[in-house]
Structure 1
Amino acid sequence: MYKLHQKKFLRAEQDRRPKDDCIELELKDDAFDDITTWPHRPMSWKTFVINTLKPSNAELRSVIENALWKNYKNVQVTLTTCPDLSKPPFRMTANGFGRNLSIAEVGGMGNLFPILHKEKDYDIKIASKATIQHGEHTSPYKSLTIDSPKFNLMANLAISEEPGPAEVVHVKCSERIGEENLPRCIRKGLAWHYGQSCVSLAGIFLLLRGEADVHIVPDYPPASFRTMDEVESWFNMFKVKAPLVCATVFHSYDPGNNLRMEHTHCYSDHQDGGHYHIDTTPETVEYEGWFTAAEKIYRVDQI
C-alpha cells in the first residue's frame, strides 16, 4: 500500500504480496464473510468478536491530554470533526472515519515467529475501498504502488461503518521530553486509566516536523527464524523526514487474544514510508493527530 523508493526492495515487493498493514476502509455488510482465502481454494479462519470499552470522546480527550503531558513539552487536545481524508495531505479514498468504528485484527506476530507461516494468504475483498491514494511525483528512483487486496502475516484494520465527518479527538503536541512514540504514549495512558478493560483506538496523525525511524520488510528468509533477535535484525531500518502521514491502531489491554498492541504505518508525498517506530528529533518534533475509540474488535485467525 506504499510507494517505496528504495531500489533494492522493488524486486522483492513485485515478487510477493504486501505484508502487514494498518489502513482505513469502509465497512460493508459482508465485510468479514470471506476475509481470507488461500491462493487456489477458499479456507475460512476462526473469527470472533472482542467487546471493547468505548469511552466518550470527551472522556478520551482528558485521558489523552494527561498522557501527552508526560511525553511532550507542548500539548493541546480538543474535540473536533474528522478532517476530509480524501484531500491533501492524506489522499485516502474515504473522506473520514469514526462512525460505528470497529477494528479487524488479522493474524499476528505468531505468523512470523517461532514458525514462519508464509504460506498463509489473506484476502480482503473490499480492499479497493482502503487503498491509500498517492499523487504521482517525480523521484530519483523508480516508484511502485501496491494495491493488491492480498497480504500475509497480519493486518490491523480500522473500519468505519459510515464514512464521512464524525467527532474525533484532535491532538497537537511538540518537543518530546519522554521516551515513547506518540501512539504508545497514548496507549500507556489508556492502560493506566482503564486497567484491565480493553480500549482500542484508531487514528491518523501527521509528523509535521522532524525525522523518524521506520522499517521495511525484505524478502522472507528460506527457513524460520531461530530467535527473536534474528527477526529484529531481519527488518531493514531507515530514517525518514517529515511531513509524514501515519495510520495507527492500538489497544490499552490484551484480554488474552494475542493482539498487536500498537501498529503504525506511514507514507508521504516525497516517497518515504514504512512501519513507524519513533521520531529521532525530540527537540524539534511536532505532531497533529485525530483519534477515536472502537466499539469492538473482530479477531481473525488468532495465532
Structure 2
Amino acid sequence: TKEPFHLASFGFGSTHHDRKIIDVGGIPNLIPTVNRSSLFDLRDVARLAGCAEPCFLTGAGAGPFDTVGVNSEMMTNVLLRDLKEPTLGDKLSSHISLVSGEGRAKQSSLQEARCGLMMNLLATQGLPGGEVLEVKARTRTGRENFVTTMRLALEELPEVVALGGVFVTESGTAHLHVMPNFSETPLNTNEDVNNWLNFYDVPAPLVCLSVFVNRDPGMALRVEHTHCFIP
C-alpha cells in the first residue's frame, strides 16, 4: 500500500495458498471491430473464478468504456471485501490511460470495479506475509523486455507455470502503447493494429502490474500482459 508500489492491499498472501490467474474476455472483443457488449464486473469475475473473500485483484486490461466515455488501458488494483455487493471496506485504486483529443496520453484514477474488452488478473486475498519471488534487473542486455525474459526463462519447464504481481522501474524510460478510441475501420492485420496504437516513451518511476504464463495449455490464454502507471 506504501511507496513504491501503491497497491490496494498489504501483500499477495492467501489462506491455503489460494492464488489464481484469471483471463477475462480477449483480443477478439477488440479486433477486427469492437464488441460493445464486452463489459465485465470484477466482482462477478472473481466469484465465478471461485476466489475467496477478501479478494485482491491486480492486472492489465481495458477500461469500462461505457463510463469512461472512450476506449482506455486499465491497470487494475482493487481490494473487494464482498464479492456480492460493494462495501465501505472496498479499496478501488485502479488507473486508466487514454489518448486525449490532442494525441497526448492522459492518466487518471478509476474508482469502480469494472472493465471492458479484456483483462488479465492475479487474484489473492491480499494478506501480508505471503511468499513472493523477488526479481531485480539493472541493465537491459538483450532484445526482449523484462517480462518476456522471465517468461522465456520458464518456457522449458514441463509444467504450466503462471506468475503475477508488481514491479517498479526506478530509472530509465519505458516504451509503452496506449489504445486510442475504437477504430472506425476494421483492424485486420498486425500492421493495422500498430498503426492504430499510440506509442510513448515514459520516464521512471513506473509501477507495473503484470500477469504471464510460460505457455498456453490449450486454453487460448494470453501468455503475457503488463500495464504501468505513474505513481
Report the alpha carbon displacement of residue 131 of structure 1 after superposing the two structures with TM: 3.1
Equivalent positions of 1:74-85 (< 5 A) are none
Partner Cα distance (1:104, 1:259) in 2: 9
Equivalent positions of 1:49-88 (< 5 A) are 86-88=1-3
Q: Is the 8 A contact 2:25 2:119 kept in 1?
A: yes
Give the equivalent residue in structure 2 for 1:104: 22
SS in 1 for 2:134: strand
Partner Cα distance (1:236, 1:98) in 2: 36
Report the alpha carbon displacement of residue 199 of structure 1 after superposing the two structures with TM: 0.5
Partner Cα distance (1:258, 1:163) in 2: 30
Q: Is the 8 A contact 2:169 2:206 kept in 1?
A: yes
Q: Is the 8 A contact 1:198 1:253 kept in 2?
A: yes
Report the alpha carbon displacement of residue 182 of structure 1 after superposing the two structures with TM: 1.0
Partner Cα distance (2:107, 2:191) in 1: 31
Q: Is the 8 A contact 1:205 1:246 kept in 2?
A: yes
Counterpart selection for 1:156 from 108, 120, 143: 120
Q: Which residue identity lines up with residue 225 of structure 1 in the other structure?
A: L
- Give the aligned CA root-mean-square deviation in angstroms: 2.3
Task: Answer with 1 or 2: which has the greater Rg.
Answer: 1
1:180 aligns with 2:139: no
Q: Is the 8 A contact 1:91 1:133 kept in 2?
A: no
Q: Which residue identity lines up with residue 119 of structure 1 in the other structure?
A: S
Partner Cα distance (1:215, 1:144) in 2: 16
Partner Cα distance (2:149, 2:128) in 1: 27
Partner deviation per Cα, 1:194-232 (whole Å, 9 max, x = no partner): 14x211001211111111101111111234323221112
SS in 1 for 2:133: strand
1:264 aligns with 2:226: yes
TM-score by length of 1: 0.53
Q: Which residue identity lines up with residue 157 of structure 1 in the other structure?
A: L
Q: Which residue identity lines up with residue 200 of structure 1 in the other structure?
A: A
1:220 aligns with 2:182: yes
Partner Cα distance (2:220, 2:177) in 1: 22
Give the equivalent residue in structure 2 for 1:229: 191
Q: 1:191 to 1:142 in 2, by over 3 A?
A: closer
Q: Is the 8 A contact 2:93 2:109 kept in 1?
A: no
Sequence identity of aligned pairs in percent? Answer: 34
Matched positions, count: 176
SS in 1 for 2:194: helix
Q: Which residue identity lines up with residue 131 of structure 1 in the other structure?
A: L
Unaligned 5+ runs, structure 2: 44-54, 58-77, 80-90, 96-104
Counterpart selection for 1:190 from 124, 138, 154: 154
Q: Which residue identity lines up with residue 257 of structure 1 in the other structure?
A: M
Dislocated runs of 4+, deviation >6 Å: none
Partner Cα distance (1:110, 1:97) in 2: 30
Q: 1:162 to 1:239 in 2, by over 3 A?
A: closer
Report the alpha carbon displacement of residue 115 of structure 1 after superposing the two structures with TM: 4.3
Equivalent positions of 1:13-32 (< 5 A) are none
Q: 1:162 to 1:207 in 2, by over 3 A?
A: closer
Moved more, 215-224 or 152-161: 215-224
Q: 1:92 to 1:106 in 2, by over 3 A?
A: same
TM-score by length of 2: 0.69
Q: Is the 8 A contact 1:98 1:167 kept in 2?
A: yes
Q: Is the 8 A contact 1:120 1:152 kept in 2?
A: yes
Counterpart selection for 1:211 from 155, 159, 173: 173
